Amino acid sequence: MKTAIIAIGDELLIGQVVDTNSGSIARMIDPAGWSIEWVKVIHDDADAIMQAVDEAFAVADVVLTTRGLGPTKDDITKLTLCKYFGGELRHNPDVLENIKEIFQRRGIQLNALTEAQALVPTSCRVIQNRVGTAPIMWFERNDGKVLVSMPGVPFETLQMFQAEVFPQLLKKFHSNEHIAHRCIIVEGLTESKVAMLLDEWEDALPDFIHLAYLPKPGIIRLRLDGHHPDNNLLQSTLDKLHAQLCQRFADNLLADADLTPEEALLLRLRDKKFTLATAESCTGGNIAHRITAIAGCSDCYYGSIVSYANDVKINILGVKKESIEAQGVVSEEVVAQMAEGARKAIGTDCAIATSGIAGPSGATPNKPVGTVCIAIATPERTIASTYHFPGTRDRVIDRASTTALTLLAMALK
Amino acid sequence: MKTAIIAIGDELLIGQVVDTNSGSIARMIDPAGWSIEWVKVIHDDADAIMQAVDEAFAVADVVLTTRGLGPTKDDITKLTLCKYFGGELRHNPDVLENIKEIFQRRGIQLNALTEAQALVPTSCRVIQNRVGTAPIMWFERNDGKVLVSMPGVPFETLQMFQAEVFPQLLKKFHSNEHIAHRCIIVEGLTESKVAMLLDEWEDALPDFIHLAYLPKPGIIRLRLDGHHPDNNLLQSTLDKLHAQLCQRFADNLLADADLTPEEALLLRLRDKKFTLATAESCTGGNIAHRITAIAGCSDCYYGSIVSYANDVKINILGVKKESIEAQGVVSEEVVAQMAEGARKAIGTDCAIATSGIAGPSGATPNKPVGTVCIAIATPERTIASTYHFPGTRDRVIDRASTTALTLLAMALK
């Protein structure tokens, strides 16, 4: 089934908020064979909304709008949709009841503005928003096409889309085309090198399978996308091609599924019953954050020492003062001591340590911005190496984190 | 000047990559009074590209396309633009030279696929891409409207847009309307409460000023947007209104500019010449990551102990085993000891500590998922409190981090 998404809000177009809802919705509808034709981000403006809805219905059976439903004055979506689909705004007692319940639960007083959220067009059917106050509105055209207007807070939108909106849409529409994907993650090769290696193989792919290259800093995701009415044929073809890809990139295979480096690392740690600690200087806690974002990581991840100040490196990680003075804090000697110190201080089998110059300041003649030393320690050995990552501070931090996680994951293969 | 952005790529529409380029471009062009009419995210498909370009030129003077320019086969943007603007693809020796240089610098072998990147339409003017291999293409219509096609890797796109593309666009177009913004950050109030307080004030705003509510988990950004040909009038009006907002929300004012909680906190630490350490359990390094993402933070931020395992809390932070046994690890007693332990172990004036249940597992009858204890310690006192944050794991982590940073920032006011 074809959908189009309209994301409404000046805040999106002046770059103060990023639209992550559309991607999340895409990932939810994809396994059911539904696709997004396009996403259009527009201003809080009646004409822009009207025009986008027209354009959306021209290509899609289902139109989803997000944002533009809060209690404040900059929200005009509801009024415009009421004008588009006809009818008038009327107080909906169920919506008001829901708002009252939510406010009571949060211990907040109801006010006139919030009560106005209970106004809904008579031309829509309301889907109760169980996690927020803005009502979700389902509009249906005579030709059966549907528009669902949802609030913008990602947490609300996604919970309600998954729990209520999408199940109701699936009930209404049926699709006979199956869509499926397979993914592998390759490290240590450039995109063009990978493409060269796959040139002939890619040309021989059946016409219902497409190969996408999705480079991310430090890794390349290769994704096989397929669609076919015969799901058995689709799945077996994808399985066969996926196995071929895994074999072809065996030496550089970080993962045989769409995993992040931290997910791949956790799998291998568990596989070997190893525990992990980190000691982070230039990555400043980002490695710990990426690992602990994964639920259940505490079985093998014990913690991190973010040693931004040298005293922390010396006092808690046991780095030798002489090493810092002789080699500098950004050196393989120091970062190796950090990794070993983290293993000891936190009491784990393995450790990752980083020390570098994320920039924009801090560079020395021998160590330009982007110089990062990374050490990985396992029960058998400690290896330290030096990298030079291009780009801005956040990019250096991100790239150093990815590289460090990938290094240990590959070492544990 | 009006622009429209077309982001090209299946990966965006199946939710594997989020388009952050458009927001970054918006923030760059905004101070010059340029605006984005809409952003449309479309498939790697010739018809979709052609149609989007038509739609874009209907509303904008400048059309920017991003992505869809890599060396691999899933990239058809260049071919389609060549068809749209006429001419043919021809090898461009300068582009090839640039590719060779970049590959040499990175120590990578040139291959046939990469060489194909040197093919460009004869109908465009090439802007050399100094940080990547895909050429940037400037197309101009007879009526003077311009389309610039840029690669998709955020780092490349933004560097080149700032350094080359936007300066050239500014040279070509002139705008006589000034655009400016003022922002404040309010904490501890709901959006509707803020709106109620501002109801009459907002109605009295001049017609060239608009107030936008931008709630983020835990805080609300209030932004005054104005546009006027007379820049002096615009700036003085905004300054006056901004001062009124600051005064009205004095008790809940986290910042009088568009600052993140961590930026506001660093300013106040510096103001008082205080240093900071963190001890993170449930936030898992996210607070440290958010602080160290700010360049120059090392003058007052010394480091963090991410104590995911209880032994780390006991051995490094000095939390009493009896406290953990009696009160549980998620308790105000333990989190207060963590904050004080971090101050001592890392040797700072202030500390922030978190301990909670981010979920989805780990809940107990008395402590549901989302229960988070937060402590802040200053040279004068340590305060611990308990919060209940709704939502998924990442939301609980994010909200707990924001609250902890905000708490200390407000305490240092």
Using alpha carbons, list the distances in angstroms from residue B264 to A192, A286, A358, B188, B270: 44, 20, 22, 15, 10
Tokens (6 digits) for A202 = 């890619």
Q: Which of residues 206-265 of B touch A (CB under 8 A)?
A: 210-215, 221, 223, 225, 258
pLDDT-wise least confident of A71-85, B56-70, B387-401: A71-85
- Output the pLDDT for position A179: 76
**Residue A70, strand partner residues:** none
Q: List the one residue out of A406, A341, A277, A191 whose CA is nearest residue B132.
A: A191
Tell me: the pLDDT tens digits for A361-403?
889 888 999 999 999 999 999 999 999 998 889 999 999 999 9
Helix (H, G, I), strand (E, B) or coil at A197: helix
Mean pLDDT of A308-333: 96
- Output the pLDDT for position A181: 87
d(CA B78, CA B51): 15
Tell me: the pLDDT tens digits for A176-230?
677 788 999 999 998 889 999 999 999 999 999 988 888 888 899 998 988 888 9
d(CA A139, CA B256): 41
CB contact burial A259-274 (16+ within 10 A = b; e otherwise): bbbbbbbbbbbeeeeb
- Nearest CB to A309: which of B15, B302, B315? B302
- Output the pLDDT for position B74: 58
Tell me: the pLDDT tens digits for B341-383?
999 999 999 999 999 999 998 898 889 999 999 999 999 999 9
Q: Is the pLDDT of residue A136 over 90?
A: yes
Q: Which of residues 87-126 of B touch A (CB under 8 A)?
A: 108, 111-114
Using alpha carbons, list the distances in angstroms from residue B26 to A60, A74, B39, B259, B294: 28, 20, 10, 18, 21
Tell me: the pLDDT tens digits for A35-64?
899 999 999 899 999 999 999 999 999 999
Q: List the one residue out of A180, A179, A184 whose CA is nearest residue A258.
A: A184
Determine the residue of chain B that is closest to A180 in CA distance: B14
Please answer whether residues A378 and A347 qualify as being in contact, where contact means their C-beta atoms are separated by less than 8 angstroms: no
Mean pLDDT of A19-24: 93
Q: Which of residues 155-174 of A touch B (CB under 8 A)?
A: 155
Helix (H, G, I), strand (E, B) or coil at A5: strand
Q: Which domains does chain A have, with CATH numbers?
A: 2-172 (3.40.980.10), 178-255 (3.30.70.2860), 261-411 (3.90.950.20)
Q: For residue B175, name the pLDDT band (cuts at 50, 70, 90).
A: low
pTM: 0.79
Residue ranges of alpha helices (H) inside A71-165 are 77-85, 93-106, 112-115, 154-160
Tokens (6 digits) for A172 = 């209404």
- Output the pLDDT for position B102: 81
Please answer whether residues A376 and A354 qualify as being in contact, where contact means their C-beta atoms are separated by less than 8 angstroms: no
Mean pLDDT of A323-339: 97
CB count, 10 Å around CB of A232?
9
Using alpha carbons, list the distances in angstroms from residue A367 to A17, A307, B161, B208: 36, 20, 28, 50
Helix (H, G, I), strand (E, B) or coil at B258: coil
- Nearest CB to B347: which of A71, A278, A311? A311
Half-sphere exposure (CA, 13 Å, Cβ side) for B320? 9
Whether residue A360 is preceded by a cis peptide bond, meaning omega within 30 degrees of 0, is yes
Using alpha carbons, list the distances in angstroms from residue B125 to A157, B83, B89, B147: 43, 15, 12, 11
Using alpha carbons, list the distances in angstroms from residue A305 to A126, A314, B269, B305, B346: 50, 12, 22, 5, 10
Tokens (6 digits) for A407 = 């290094």
Tell me: the pLDDT tens digits for A122-135?
999 999 998 888 88
- Output the pLDDT for position B33: 73
The answer for residues whose C-beta is within 8 angstroms of residue B241's C-beta and 6 or more apart is B182, B205, B209, B224
**DSSP 8-state code for residue A7:** E
Does the beta carbon of B16 lie under 8 angstroms from any beta carbon of chain A? yes
Are residues A73 and B195, on separate chains, in Cβ contact within 8 Å? yes
Tell me: the pLDDT tens digits for B249-294?
999 999 999 999 999 999 999 999 999 999 999 999 999 999 999 9
Tokens (6 digits) for B189 = 């109030």
Mean pLDDT of A16-35: 87
**pLDDT above 70: percentage of residues in chain B:** 98
Beta strands in B205-349 (DSSP E): 209-216, 219-228, 253-255, 276-280, 301-307
Task: Choose from A22, A25, A27, A41 for mutation: most chain B CBs within 10 A.
Answer: A41
Using alpha carbons, list the distances in angstroms from residue A131 to A99, A154, B171, B210: 10, 11, 49, 29
**Dihedral in degrees, nearest 10, Cα atoms B28, B33, B38, B43:** -30
ipTM rounded to 2 decimals:
0.77
Tokens (6 digits) for A97 = 């009841």
Cβ contacts (< 8 Å) between A70 and chain B: which residues? 191, 213, 215
